[in-house]
């Protein structure tokens, strides 16, 4: 056991996002290719010497306490194992907030891993993933990390080989998007065949380590809802493609857009252009990152 842990909570993007159907319980069944990127939130967990959980975040608009998914993750394990000793959790946010990159879910995943390690609970990764599902559909994947096929409501995960190495530009525009509202407006039965991404083809391309095959199959059915409402997303995609991206796509329900580059020089040039586009008014945050391999240490 240890009294102090420093953890990295990595963000994710969706290389492919297809919605298969809407279930009677209101949830949507999906088929997605999830990919961790090297951009991460920094999380510090300390035993506090007193009962209770205290959370502190670096951004004033990210909630502390029970409104924070990381708090609920710690409480889930402390309650289950009847641990009376309290913890303090400090989160430095680097992943864009409300950006389609699972920022809250990955913080919760890191805290589950940290509490398990700190109190020597002995839970396996799969056991942690099962508990993470109680917090949100993305949390199990954020524990797994790497490249994975996600099905069901996002909880059925199949590990895939590491995706081919590349450079990734992330750009969040100056808009906010409600995931619930986007899914609520999606009419699965009205989608055209060509609007559904080729998820099986992308799996094969990843298995062959064929980056061109991956970028050729990038697709997200939620773009059909989000881009008409926020054309800035389409503008960013075009800029990325015009500056050498092999492919560009909105992640999740948006609004973050990513571009995949073979050349670091081209990726850096695209970053610079996006930061200056429309006198800096087009994007709120721009990052140059890469795919993250699950075998790297947390």
Residue 227 CB neighbour total at 10 angstroms:
19
Selecting among 12, 93, 172, 237, the annotated active-site residue is: 12
Selecting among 93, 138, 172, 237, the annotated active-site residue is: 138
Q: What is the DSSP string of the chain?
A: --SEEEEEEEEEEEEEEEEEEE-TTS-EEEEEEEEEEEEEEEEEEEE-SSSSEEEEESSTTS--GGGSHHHHHHHHHHHHTT--S-EEEEEE--SPTTSSS-HHHHHHHHHHHHHHHHTT----HHHHHHHHTTT-TTHHHHHH-SEEEEETTTTEEEE-PPPPP-EEEEEEES----HHHHHHH--GGG--GGGS--HHHHHHHHHTT-HHHHHHT-EETTHHHHHHH-THHHHHHHHHHHTT-SEEEE-TTSS-EEEEES-HHHHHHHHHHHHHGGGGTSEEEEEEEEB--TTS--
Catalytic site residue 22? no
Catalytic site residue 47? no
Q: Would you please indicate which residues are annotated as catalytic (active-site) residues?
A: 12, 138
């Amino acid at each position: 056991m240890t009294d102090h842990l420093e953890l990295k909570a990595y963000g994710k993007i969706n290389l492919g996002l297809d919605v298969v159907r809407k279930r009677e319980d209101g949830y949507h069944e999906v088929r997605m290719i999830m990919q961790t990127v090297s951009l991460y939130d920094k999380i510090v967990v300390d035993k506090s010497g007193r009962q209770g959980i205290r959370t502190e975040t670096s951004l004033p608009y990210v909630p502390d306490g029970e409104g924070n998914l990381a708090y609920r993750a710690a409480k889930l394990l402390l309650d289950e194992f009847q641990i009376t000793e309290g913890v303090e959790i400090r989160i430095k946010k680097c992943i864009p907030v409300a950006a389609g990159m699972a920022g809250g879910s990955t913080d919760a995943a890191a805290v589950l891993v940290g509490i398990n390690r700190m109190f020597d609970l002995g839970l396996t990764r799969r056991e942690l993933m099962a508990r993470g599902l109680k917090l949100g559909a993305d949390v199990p994947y954020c524990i797994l990390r790497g490249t994975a096929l996600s099905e069901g409501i996002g909880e059925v995960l199949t590990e895939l080989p590491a995706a081919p190495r590349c450079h990734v530009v992330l750009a969040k525009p100056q808009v906010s998007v409600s995931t619930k509202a986007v899914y609520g407006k999606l009419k699965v039965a009205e989608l055209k065949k060509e609007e559904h991404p080729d998820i099986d083809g992308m799996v094969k391309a990843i298995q062959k380590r064929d980056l061109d095959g991956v970028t050729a199959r990038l697709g997200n059915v939620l773009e059909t809802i989000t881009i008409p409402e926020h054309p800035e997303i389409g503008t960013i995609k075009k800029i990325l493609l015009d500056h050498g991206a092999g492919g560009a796509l909105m992640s999740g329900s948006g609004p973050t857009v990513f571009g995949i580059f073979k050349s670091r020089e081209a990726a850096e040039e695209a970053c610079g252009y996006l930061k200056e586009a429309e006198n800096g008014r087009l994007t709120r945050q721009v990052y140059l990152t890469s795919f993250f391999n699950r075998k790297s240490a947390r």
